[in-house]
Amino acid sequence: MTVLTGFLGAGKTTLLNFLLTQDHGHKCAIIINEFGPISIDNQLVVGADEEIVELNNGCLCCRVRGDLVRSLGDLFKKQKRFDYVLIETTGLADPGPVAQTFFMPEMAKLLRLDGIVTVVDAKHLDKELAEAPEASAQIAFADVVLLNKTDLVTAPEVEDLERRIRRMNSLAKIFRTERSQIDPSKIFNIKARDLKAAFSEGVGDHSAEHDESHSHDHDDHEHEHGEHDHEHSHHDESISSFAIADERPLDLKKTEAWLSDVLSTRGANIYRSKGILYIKGQPKRVVFQGVQMMFDATPERFWNPNEKRQNQLVFIGKDLDETAIRSGFGQCIAA
């Protein structure tokens, strides 16, 4: 299941329409959430054979959460043929509670949250980040960010926006798009929440990725990423991300207690957390995924003999106390 989110007018419905016309090999069920009593978006969605469930009585992330669960349940009860669910949220939605829904056991049995895709409007992003907290949260929760409408801004502005997004969310893949057009393989079945592989970009790697259809236009700028970040610190984002990488093994009980404590006390501000843990005496990697105060940590595959054992953790959130979190992690090092 993929959640499509983004601020008002960013291009979510355009993206949904585009995806439904592409040969991506998936039979999709569509859930469209709108804020307000009158349905508009369903008139814009193409593909008459798609299953469309409209939730018109409020925002997905608040009153409609129960309806979301029921609607998904109804889809399965109807035994319609589909293998993928796309949820388009209202532009004012906070994706966090939507993602938390899929930590529920009854949902986890039926659906796998593949990723959260956030569409951002390159022309208006500065204004939206300054005035609307929802826009920042949508970027913070994203696994994929489509920097859309890049044809409406200059190349230096696109570079600046990418660096800004990267500082806010070091996990997300960033693709530049026009009219929300992108290779569906960048959206479908990306397994963004699956840590069976190591962090593909490397913890703390701030190199942005681009949709190949546009990347050739920006090759001259690739070397600039990271070189000039210091010039843009005036943005002073309240949303930020940071990574911890450490090769020392951890004590299991101390680590469990620390994660439980940090997410229970600071979880409202920690929008996303994920990591691979190197636990002393544990022959397997331990992986964890967190959405605010909810997290799951489980042993996964065995460490490979030639694999460097290390801890890799990423935290994304608002007004993060990085010093305190790093200090708490340090207390978990095994004796």
pLDDT tens per residue, range 133-183: 889 999 999 999 999 999 999 999 999 999 999 999 998 999 999 999 999
Confidence of residue 218 (pLDDT cuts 50, 70, 90): very low
Q: Is the pLDDT of residue 112 over 70?
A: yes
| Both tokens assigned to 86 | 């796309």
**Where on the phi/psi map is residue 208: left (φ > 0), alpha (ψ -120 to 50), or beta?**
beta
Calpha distance 202→132 (Å, rounded) = 31
Share of the chain above pLDDT 90, in %: 37
pLDDT digits (tens, 9 = 90+) for 39-90: 556 666 665 455 666 555 454 444 455 577 777 777 777 766 788 888 888 8
Global pTM reads 0.78
Confidence (pLDDT) at 131: 86
- Distances in Å between the Cα of 151 and the Cα atoms of 77, 123, 156 are 44, 9, 12
- CATH T-level fold of 239-330: Hypothetical Protein Yjia; Chain: A;domain 2 (3.30.1220)
Q: Is the pLDDT of residue 202 over 50?
A: no
Q: Is the pLDDT of residue 92 over 60?
A: yes
- Domain residue spans in the chain? 2-235, 239-330
Please tell me if the domain spanning 2-235 has the same topology as the one spanning 239-330: no
Confidence of residue 20 (pLDDT cuts 50, 70, 90): confident
User: What φ, ψ does residue 16 adopt, rounded to 5°?
Assistant: -60, -45
Under 8 Å between Cβ of 298 and 286: yes
Nearest to 256 by CA among 284, 198, 298, 301: 298
Confidence (pLDDT) at 335: 86
Confidence (pLDDT) at 61: 45
With a CB cutoff of 8 Å and minimum separation 6, the contacts of 48 are: none
Strands in 284-291's sheet, in edge-to-edge order, are: 239-246, 311-318, 270-277, 284-291, 294-302
Confidence of residue 107 (pLDDT cuts 50, 70, 90): confident
Q: Is the pLDDT of residue 102 over 90?
A: no
Q: What is the CATH number of domain 2-235?
A: 3.40.50.300
Q: Is the pLDDT of residue 283 over 50?
A: yes
Confidence (pLDDT) at 38: 52
Whole-number average pLDDT of the chain: 79
Under 8 Å between Cβ of 211 and 175: yes
Which is higher by pLDDT, 315 or 62? 315
The mean per-residue pLDDT over the stretch 7-33 comes to: 86
Q: Is the pLDDT of residue 115 over 90?
A: yes
Confidence (pLDDT) at 214: 40
Which is higher by pLDDT, 288 or 250? 250
